[in-house]
Amino acid sequence: MGIELSPPSNYQRLADAPPTIATLCSHSSLQIFHGARTEGFQSLGICQGPLPRFYEAFPLGRPDRFLSVDRYSDLPGRVDELNRANAILVPHGSFVEYIGPEKFQALPVPVFGNRAVIGWESDREKERVWLESAGVRMPERFVDPSEVDGPVIVKYYGAKGGKGFFLAKNRESLREFRATGPHVIQEYVLGTRYYVHFFYSPISQGGYRVGHGSLELLGMDRRDEANIDELYKLGAQEELLKAGIRPTFVVTGNVPVVLRESLLPQVFDVGARIVTRSIELFGGMVGPFCVEGIMTEELVFKVFEISSRIVAGTNLFISGSSYSDLVRPDLSMGRRIAQELKLARELGRLGEVVS
Task: Name the residues that contact ligand ATP, by CB under 6 A.
Answer: 139, 153, 155, 159-162, 186-189, 193, 223, 225, 249, 251, 292, 294, 304-305
Nearer to ligand ATP by Cβ, of 153 and 350: the residue is 153
The residue (of 18 and 119) whose beta carbon lies closer to ligand ATP is 119
- Residues 251, 252, 255: CA angle, nearest 5 degrees: 95
Cα–Cα dist 309/157, whole Å: 20
| DSSP secondary structure code for residue 72 in this structure | G
The whole-angstrom distance between residue 234's C-alpha and the CA centroid of its chain comes to: 31
Left if phi > 0, otherwise alpha if psi is -120 to 50, otherwise beta: which for 143? alpha
Shortest spacing between CB 310 and ligand ATP, in angstroms: 13
In the complex, least distance from residue 306 CB atom to ligand ATP, rounded to whole angstroms: 9
Q: How far is the CB of 184 from ligand ATP (least distance, A)?
A: 10
- In the complex, the smallest distance separating the C-beta of residue 228 from ligand ATP, rounded to whole angstroms, is 7
Q: Shortest approach of ligand ATP to residue 187 CB, angstroms?
A: 6
- In 3D space, the residue among 114, 15, 86, 20 whose CA is nearest the CA of residue 348 turns out to be 15
Residue 250 CB, nearest distance to ligand ATP (Å)?
Answer: 8
For residue 230, the minimal CB distance to ligand ATP (Å) is 13
Residue number with CB closer to ligand ATP (115 or 223): 223
Min separation Cβ 346 and ligand ATP, Å: 35
Task: Give, as one character, the DSSP assignment of residue 147.
Answer: G
- Half-sphere exposure (Cβ direction) of 23: Cα atoms closer than 13 Å: 30
Nearer to ligand ATP, 69 or 159 (CB): 159
Nearer to ligand ATP, 302 or 342 (CB): 302
Nearer to ligand ATP, 173 or 319 (CB): 173
139: number of Cβ within 10 Å: 18
Number of H helices, E strands in the chain: 12, 14
CB distance 162 to 250 below 8 Å: yes
HSE-up (13 A, CA, CB side) for residue 86: 11
The beta strands (E) that lie in the chain are given as 20-24, 42-48, 65-69, 87-89, 141-142, 152-156, 166-168, 183-187, 192-201, 208-210, 213-227, 249-256, 287-295, 301-307
> Closest separation between CB of residue 287 and ligand ATP, Å?
18
Closer residue to ligand ATP, CB minimum distance, 266 or 319: 266
Could you give the CA distance from residue 67 to residue 75 in angstroms, rounded to a whole number? 10
Q: Are 334 and 242 in contact (CB under 8 A)?
A: no
Q: Are 107 and 76 in contact (CB under 8 A)?
A: yes
Concatenating the DSSP letter of every residue in 175-215 gives TT----S-EEEEE---SEEEEEEEEEESS--SSEEETTEEE
Identify which of residues 141 and 349 has a Cβ nearer to ligand ATP in the complex. 141
- Closest alpha carbon to 211 in 133, 273, 281: 273
**Residue number with CB closer to ligand ATP (247 or 351):** 247
